[in-house]
Amino acid sequence: MLSSRRKHSHNLNMLFSQGALNLVGGFLAIIMWGQLESSVLDWMALLAILSGALTIIFVVKRKSPLSDSTTSLIFGLNLIPVYGLLWVSNSVSSHQNKIWVPFEPHELACLAIAFLAPPGIAIGVLGILVIPVLAEFQYMGFSPEQLTWLPAHPLFAPMAFGSFALILYFFRRHGVRIADLAAKSEAEAQAMKKVTHAILSIKDLANSPIQALTLDVEVLKLKHPDDVPIANRIEKSVHQLRDLNRLLDEHLRGSADASIEGSFDPYENLEKET
């Protein structure tokens, strides 16, 4: 149950972060590329802002668990306006007839996907690979005149960042799994500790009846000699209960949690553990 809650929380946090990035990125695109005076670029920026805002609203209002497949689907849909911004911004910049550095936002986009680490491997890997592929196709479509305004080897950076982002993505996924396993182990340890406390409290409650039975056996032997066989059977059962009590106490105190101490109020202890 804890693992499911943790996964649900991670998925929502990841989508919230992606929504915030789309929202902020759309506004930054309008500010940075506003001077390019491209209506298509403005629409792509507005689409990114809209997708980011809708994703944030969805996450805030979502109460039920969110599966990995649904999370990955939403993540992939949110990448569409990002790809559009990357393509249109470079297309518009390539017609300005001045020196410019292409594909810089591609590098940040690769790293952002890797850091967010979507749960679906296909979405994560393809989401990263599409970015340098887009750069490659767009570079191949530039005219000789447009290429003269570009620095040497402009594709090296997006390819290098894409490769690094893939490695980072798998490290992030591994880190998420390790954190999930650690949280699960901690929850299991806490559950075992609660069970141990409860059993020790029940054992404490059983001590008083055992002591009472021991006294009753002695009284029965003294006052009713004819019932000595019955008293002996009761006494044997009491010894077995004491041995069981001792073994249970040694096992729980020695292996489950060395810091556990006997409760002075077993009833209060049991109420706390329930």
Which residues lie closer than 8 Å to 159 by C-beta, 6 or more apart?
132, 135, 136
pTM for this prediction: 0.68
Reported confidence tier of residue 265, pLDDT bands at 50, 70, 90: low
Is residue 22 within 8 Å of 78, Cβ to Cβ? Answer: yes
Tell me which of 118-122, 159-163, 192-196 is least confident. Answer: 192-196
Q: Which of 85, 112, 151, 150 is nearest to 21 (CA)?
A: 112
Structural contact between residues 11 and 66, judged by C-beta atoms closer than 8 angstroms: yes
Q: How many CB atoms lie within 10 A of CB 184?
A: 14
Task: Give the pLDDT of residue 268.
Answer: 60
* pLDDT at residue 196 is higher than 90: no
pLDDT band at 269 (very low <50, low <70, confident <90, very high): low
Write out pLDDT tens, residues 65-101.
Answer: 888 899 999 999 999 999 999 999 998 888 887 888 8
Q: What is the 8-class DSSP label of residue 252?
A: I
Task: End-to-end CA distance of the chain: give it in Å, rounded.
Answer: 17
Give the per-residue pLDDT at 266.
Answer: 56
- Angstrom distance (rounded) from CA 172 to CA 207: 53
Structure tokens at 243: 């041995």
Rounded to an integer, what distance in angstroms lies between the CA atom of residue 22 and that of residue 112? 11
Residue 132 has pLDDT above 70, yes or no: yes
User: Rounded to whole angstroms, what are the CA distances from 92 to 32, 61, 147, 149, 198?
Assistant: 13, 38, 14, 13, 70
Q: How far apart are CA 55 and CA 46, in angstroms?
A: 14
